[in-house]
Amino acid sequence: MKRASLKSAQGSRTAFDRARASSLKISADQTTALAVFLSVIAIGAWGWQKTVADSHSLEVKPEAWEQVKKHFPIPEELEATPKIASQSLEQIITANPFSPMRRQKPTESSTDVSQKVPEPPKAKLIYKGRVVLGNRQRAILEDETTRKTHFLEIGQIVSGFKLLDIAEDQVIVSEESTGQSTILTLTSKTQ
C-alpha cells in the first residue's frame, strides 16, 4: 500500500512539473516580437532626448549682442573715483555702529560755570514693612521722589543709601556719600 501511494504521489508531481514547464515556454516568435518592441521603445526614447537637448541650446545671436552694446555702452576708460574730503572720511570712520560711545551725545567744550548740571533730587525713603521668608528677610522701602518700591536685603544699596539693619518697626540706612546713619520707622498703613 505504501508503494502504491508513493507511485501516485510521484505521478502527480511529474504532471505538475510538466504543466508548469509548458506555461513557462515562450515560443521563438514571441521572443523576437518582445525584442523588436523593446528596441523601438529605446530608439524612441533616445530620439526624444536628443530633440529636447537640441531645443534648449543657449546660443546668443550676434545681432542681439550688438543691440545690447548699443543701448548700454561700455565706457572705454573707467572714471576716476571721486575725491572724499578728509572731514567726511573721518566722520565715516568715527561713526562705528558698534561703539558704546555712539549713543552718547557729544559734550560741548564750554567752561562756563553758570551752566551747572542740576543734581537729581535727594531720595526720600519711607519704610513700608518687611517680608520674612524662612531665615531671609527683606525691607520694603519706597522712594517718595520717584514713587518706586524696593525690596532690599541687608547690605543692598538703593538711591545712594545702604540698608544696614531690619527690625519689625524700623530699619537703619546709611548714606553712601557721607556715611551718616538714619533710622526709618514704620509708616502707618493709612498714609
pLDDT tens series, the chain, 191 aa: 555 555 555 555 666 666 665 656 677 888 899 999 999 999 999 999 888 877 766 666 777 778 888 888 877 766 666 777 777 777 777 777 777 766 666 666 545 555 666 666 677 889 999 999 888 999 999 988 888 999 999 999 998 899 999 998 999 999 988 889 989 998 865 55
Containing 173, the helix (H) or strand (E) segment is: strand 170-175
Q: What is the pLDDT of residue 79?
A: 65
Is the CB of residue 159 less than 8 Å from the CB of residue 175? no
Give burial (CB, 10 Å; 0-12/13-18/19+) of 123.
middle
The C-alpha cell at 133 is: 521668608
